[in-house]
Amino acid sequence: YIEELLQRHQLADAKPRSTPLPPGSKVLPTGEGETELVDSTEYRTLIGELNYLATSTRPDIAQAMSVLARFMGKPSKTHMGLALGVLRYLAGTKELGLRFGGAGELKLEGYSDSDWAGDPATRRSTT
């Protein structure tokens, strides 16, 4: 599925990225001076495709998708660039994923992190 997405968005030969979003990036709503996408259909499509991966086999991109999905109503070229960056991250980590099933006892272990008022636009916390 990742290969199909890379082909569909002309990123088959793109340089892979090491993280879904750049470290320390602040994703803000489209502001003055920023170029809003004329047709946001491509952005919405890409976010939906990536969200499918985040909820099925790639939870490592879930936080990035949560942030980028907030701007579906009025995305900018910056938001589109960040979404394509998530796809570049997937290009470099195609071998990762969750596999369900198998023999033996299942041991599930989870971790969580949070920030305090980390969203610069709304000052909401993220867990």
Average per-residue pLDDT for the chain: 89
Rg (CA), the chain: 16
What's the pLDDT tens digit per position in 75-117? Answer: 999 999 999 999 999 999 999 887 777 777 777 888 888 888 8
Is the pLDDT score of 119 beyond 80?
Answer: no
Q: Quick: pLDDT tens for 51-76.
A: 999 998 899 999 999 999 999 999 99
Whole-prediction pTM value? 0.79
The pLDDT score that the predictor gives to residue 127 is 74
